[in-house]
Structure 1
Amino acid sequence: MALMTRLQKSSEDNANDITKNLLTLQFESALTEEEKELLHLRARSHAIAVYQCAQATYFVEILKEIRQLKNQLKNPNFKRTRILQDDKKDPLLIGILGCGRLGSQIAHCLLTYGKLNPSELQISTRRPETQEYLQQRGVDCYYDNVRLVSSTHVVFVGVLPSQLTGVADEIKDLLPSSTIMYVPTIGISLRRLRQMLDTTNIVQPEYWWPDENRHKPWNHSVNVNMALEKKDLVEKTCPICDDISDQVVMVNPKLAEVFLFAAINMCVDLNLTRQESLRALHLSMFGESDRQPLKDKLTLADFGGQDGGEEVCFPHFDLVQVTESESYITQKLSTSTDLRQAFIKRYWQVFEEYLHIRIYGNII
């Protein structure tokens, strides 16, 4: 509570909107009544950007933690602990293909809340010279899409839908099957993406916006990075958020399941057994620890398997099929209160850890 109070005060102190009480100087004053009916689109656009950046940051954090956990999971005396931030032996390498507005926002959020080392982030853009700020921080910016997808573990595709066909033709023959393609672009179906990129290792959030909520309040004046300091707002972006009654934008809750199976695919690439993979998921996605063990857990049976196969790896899962079909995991995430609450808590914790470091100088 003290942390949130200090952050709220800090945000209020930084509010410098000189037009706040001067109605004639505000953007809306020059609009016709018909044009004002479209103002909700501005809030919706901002909300989508916040959702995309928050979900991308959480996804990167869980994958990064799994890579850091790899060696500990092989230890028979392994203890569930999350103090792993100094272990950089196997870093998660992130690529952003196309660094327009969305790509830049994701990059800044990953460096801030995802605590990503700039040396672990690469950006391929037609105008790398425009990314001077990111380059000064140590981010490698260039224009070589093939190099990007072949040298990173996760690629965020930030190009326009009209450009994606050409980019896909350029990279698909050299795209490693282990590379996770995260495509936040709205307007191209998942099946079409699978055909274009010739891979099933694709994550694509699905958003929609209830018409009855279009005039719900949403503060679009704050930048995306600062928006993610607010717990109530971040929790709205969680794929399995409990309260959806006033959402300006909604996300398909299947995204949580896709994150889970994408994480398993990375576990397979790290040669983790099924049992080790489940332990990694419980720790990274649900925040389990020795002090706070989960009451309900994922089991091999939830993946359609039987006990006794713990010492072999999972197969690689088709993320497109996962998105489009129901499974035991779908049922488990929708019915297990313990798992849902643990997921939501861990989701916010990704952002809370950064805020705690900023305010108090140490991790939670």
Structure 2
Amino acid sequence: MDLTVNLVSLGFEAGLGGSERGLVGLRGRWAGLTVCGCGHAAFLCRLAALLREKFPVHSSNKSHHPALKIGILGGGNIGKQLTKVLLTVPGLKPSNISISTKRPETLKEFSNRGVECYFDNCRLALWSDVLFLCVLPSHLPRVCAELHTHLPAHCLVYSFTTAVPLPRLAQLLGHSFVIRPQYIFDACDSAQLWLCHNQVTTALQDKEVLTASCPLSMCGGLSLNQMWVSAVLYSLLNMCTANGLGSIQTIQLLNELFQSNPSSETFTSLSFVNSSCASKLSTSEPFPWIILTDTQTKQTPLSSFLFGSKALQDCISAMYYNTFSGMSSEKIQMKD
């Protein structure tokens, strides 16, 4: 039991001068970005893992292990926090997570649990189904140049580094299958919400924090560009295409994934592509490859469908909550 928890005189803010107190809100924003960033990334992995479980065993791309392979490039604060959250998500096993960092010997807490830690960025990229870039902005150009010719087409790159615009990031990587969430700071006095917990995993167990971080209804001084949700759904579509699934089968699997009740609206081909493209698709033909950089900067058939369907929005929010409601107390004991 920490006897100093409620002693204001021992708090961080107690030693700040009058001119410095205005900066306290920045701590809340940083904590909020960390919690939301890790939570949203873990949610994407949960959706992708659930979808892969539905893939038929006779999928044309038999070279890939059916379990989702998650690569984390960077073993700093964000890389570590993300790994801790991923290790609490139901269905994600340590053996399906790998980290590449210059100092893998500092990640014993993860390697001891079965996460493979090494320093070989190209090896990580070639192995991963989803690759998280958790590096400093100053390191990003060098890392991108290193990965440029080693990224498989099916590998989804998810960047935590937001200092580089998305089109530029895609250009540096030579890769179009890229997601970069765009968080926006709102004028709000509730940023203190994010400072209630000193661990991201425990924060995501707090119902108030979890509700505030929900991608479709964020609050607490932060919001998320809603095109991110469309990009996540399009990334699932691309994963089906990469595995050679026909358009009808892809639609069926996505409807199975997101149907929370029989009355919910269902996906059709027109939910993802325009009528001209949909009319040319045969039932066994895969969807065309979707350029994710476009889905995050432009209105798409899917964004129109998503924001016109309250049932789908509610289903996505419920799946987000369920991603973290399955955390066990045993899994979240790792210290930050």
Q: Decide: shared fold, TM above 0.5.
A: yes
* SS of residue matched to 2:210: helix
Name the residue aligned to 1:218. 193
Instruction: For 1:241-320, list aligned pairs within 5 A.
Output: 241=217, 244=218, 246-284=219-257, 286=258, 288=259, 292-302=261-271, 303-304=273-274, 305-306=278-279, 309-320=282-293
Instruction: For 1:122-137, list aligned pairs within 5 A.
Output: 122-137=98-113
Q: What number of residue pairs does the alignment pair up?
A: 322
Pairing partner for 2:93 from 117, 122, 143: 117
Return the letter of the residue paired with 2:29. R
- For the aligned residue pairs, the C-alpha RMSD in angstroms reads 2.1
Structure 1 gap segments, 5+ residues each: 1-15, 75-87, 359-364
In the alignment, is residue 326 of structure 1 matched against residue 299 of structure 2?
Answer: yes
Name the residue aligned to 1:239. 215
Name the residue aligned to 2:131. 155
Name the residue aligned to 1:140. 116
Structure 1 residues 298, 99: CA separation in 2 closer, same or farther (over 3 Å shift)? Answer: same
Return the letter of the residue paired with 1:315. P
Name the residue aligned to 2:38. 53
Return the letter of the residue paired with 1:162. S
Name the residue aligned to 1:197. 173
* SS of residue matched to 2:117: strand
Q: Percentage identity across aligned positions?
A: 29
Cα distance between partner residues in 2 of 1:215 and 1:104? 26
Return the letter of the residue paired with 1:275. I
CA distances 1:258-287 after superposition (whole Å, capped 9, x unpaired): 000111111111111112212222233x2x
Name the residue aligned to 2:334. none
In the alignment, is residue 337 of structure 1 matched against residue 310 of structure 2?
Answer: yes
CA distances 1:157-198 after superposition (whole Å, capped 9, x unpaired): 001010011111111112112111000212111011011101
Structure 2 gap segments, 5+ residues each: 332-336
**Would the aligned equivalents of 2:90 and 2:323 in 1 still touch at CA under 8 Å?**
yes
In the alignment, is residue 106 of structure 1 matched against residue 91 of structure 2?
Answer: no
Cα distance between partner residues in 1 of 2:58 and 2:51? 9
Name the residue aligned to 2:67. 91
Shift of 1:352: 1.6
Name the residue aligned to 1:37. 22
Cα distance between partner residues in 2 of 1:143 and 1:50? 26
Pairing partner for 1:165 from 130, 141, 164: 141
TM-score where L is the length of structure 1? 0.83
Cα distance between partner residues in 2 of 1:356 and 1:306? 50
Cα distance between partner residues in 2 of 1:275 and 1:146? 35
Cα distance between partner residues in 2 of 1:247 and 1:310? 45
CA distances 1:110-155 after superposition (whole Å, capped 9, x unpaired): 1112442111111100000000110100111000001000111110
**Would the aligned equivalents of 1:68 and 1:89 in 2 still touch at CA under 8 Å?**
no
TM-score where L is the length of structure 2? 0.90
Shift of 1:294: 4.6
Structure 1 residues 227, 122: CA separation in 2 closer, same or farther (over 3 Å shift)? Answer: same
* SS of residue matched to 1:218: helix
**Would the aligned equivalents of 1:235 and 1:344 in 2 still touch at CA under 8 Å?**
no
Cα distance between partner residues in 1 of 2:77 and 2:159? 15
* SS of residue matched to 1:178: coil
Bigger shift: 105-114 or 92-101? 105-114
In the alignment, is residue 230 of structure 1 matched against residue 206 of structure 2?
Answer: yes
Name the residue aligned to 1:24. 9
Cα distance between partner residues in 2 of 1:214 and 1:73? 53
**Would the aligned equivalents of 1:273 and 1:313 in 2 still touch at CA under 8 Å?**
yes
Bigger shift: 232-241 or 316-325? 232-241
Shift of 1:329: 1.1
Return the letter of the residue paired with 1:218. L
**Would the aligned equivalents of 1:128 and 1:141 in 2 still touch at CA under 8 Å?**
yes
**Would the aligned equivalents of 1:118 and 1:138 in 2 still touch at CA under 8 Å?**
yes
Cα distance between partner residues in 2 of 1:232 and 1:277? 35
